Homo-oligomer: A and B are copies of this chain.
Amino acid sequence: MANSKFEYVRLFEQQDGLLPNTWIVVRIDGRGFTKFATRYGFEKPNDKRALDLMNAAAKMVMTELSDITIAYGSSDEFSFVFHKSCILFERRASKLVSTIVSTFTAYYIHYWPTYFPDTLLTPPLPSFDGRAICYPSVQNLRDYMSWRQVDCHINNLYNTTFWSLIQLGGLDAKEAEKTLAGTLAADKNEILFSRFKINYNNEPEMFKKGSVLFRDYELVEPGTHNAAEEAENLAIPVQQSKTQAENDKKKRAKARVTVEHLDIIKDDFWDRRPWLLSNKPGKVPKQT
């Protein structure tokens, strides 16, 4: 009542609901992480502690937001995927992005001492920005994921060679950059092997492939499911009964989120994990 004179300002809020029946990707990126990495002495070209911390934060994001079906991260970025049938927060972009960014940041700060026990975090603190993108088809979504993983590979091969030239070859940054200018992947592999006896294939999977997070159910035989087609045929935002949806949500919430370093470009990864595209919880693996 007393409030009504000013309350008209609410009319200025604009709708930002994302198109229904599309896959939502929220990608977050570290802000000014080059400087941040230098300040805290991150190892080059990859700091395992820093990547583990990213993964730990991402895992908690997936645990708290059970509508996320898969996440992929490398370096200082992470992509979180909401299933196309997701109606969380009425699909409002700002709500989805801000919630993920905030939750991720909270755990990044919280877990810092676990991964960097000897280094106190002081202002300016690390932070992340984010954006939401809609993908209409499974192919678009998989191409997005492939894009990020190819990018991880390209950057890592470059950085591995670059830092080898500096750390092992004694070059300075400019010389290393010049050496790599115009080189193809094969050239970089060759430099690594001939100069430093480094076989790039033997580099850690986490560095080469990045990290993929998903709920851990029993793998299925490829060819036994058709989750992609099933997903494409899903037309209506919510088709399930409320009970079914609630049950599925509970099952997802219970499932363990696992962190792997697998190829997500080839079909096999998706064929064996139909729940990623179908959004139907799989079979919980027996505890051993």
Determine which of B19, B107, B133 lies in contact with A134 in the assembled complex, contact meaning CB atoms within 8 Å. Answer: B19
Residue A86 at the chain B interface, CB threshold 8 Å: no
Contacts of A123 in B (CB 8 A): 60, 107, 110
Q: How large is the interface on A (under 10, 10 to 19, 20 to 34, 35 or more residues)?
A: 35 or more
Contacts of A19 in B (CB 8 A): 12, 14, 19, 22, 134, 136
Determine which of B60, B128, B132, B134 lies in contact with A102 in the assembled complex, contact meaning CB atoms within 8 Å. Answer: B128
Chain A stretch 1-53: residues in CB contact (< 8 A) with chain B: 2-3, 5-17, 19-22, 28, 31
Task: Decide if B6 touches A144 in the complex (CB within 8 Å).
Answer: yes
Bound state CA distance, A107 and B110, in angstroms?
A: 11
A28 to chain B, nearest CB (A): 7
A78 to chain B, nearest CB (A): 12
Bound state CA distance, A233 and B139, in angstroms?
A: 7
28 CB-based A-B contacts, threshold 8 Å: A2-B150, A2-B185, A8-B237, A14-B19, A15-B15, A15-B17, A20-B136, A22-B22, A28-B98, A60-B123, A84-B136, A94-B129, A95-B131, A98-B101, A98-B131, A99-B127, A102-B102, A103-B127, A106-B109, A106-B126, A107-B125, A110-B121, A110-B125, A136-B137, A137-B232, A137-B234, A139-B235, A232-B232
Residue A268 at the chain B interface, CB threshold 8 Å: no
Task: Decide if B99 touches A102 in the complex (CB within 8 Å).
Answer: no
Residue A105 at the chain B interface, CB threshold 8 Å: yes
Chain B: CB-nearest residue to A104: B102
Contacts of A95 in B (CB 8 A): 129, 131
Beyond contacts A3-B147, A103-B127: 14 other A-B pairs, Cβ-Cβ < 8 A, are A9-B147, A15-B17, A19-B22, A20-B136, A21-B136, A22-B22, A92-B131, A93-B94, A94-B94, A94-B131, A95-B131, A102-B105, A105-B109, A106-B126
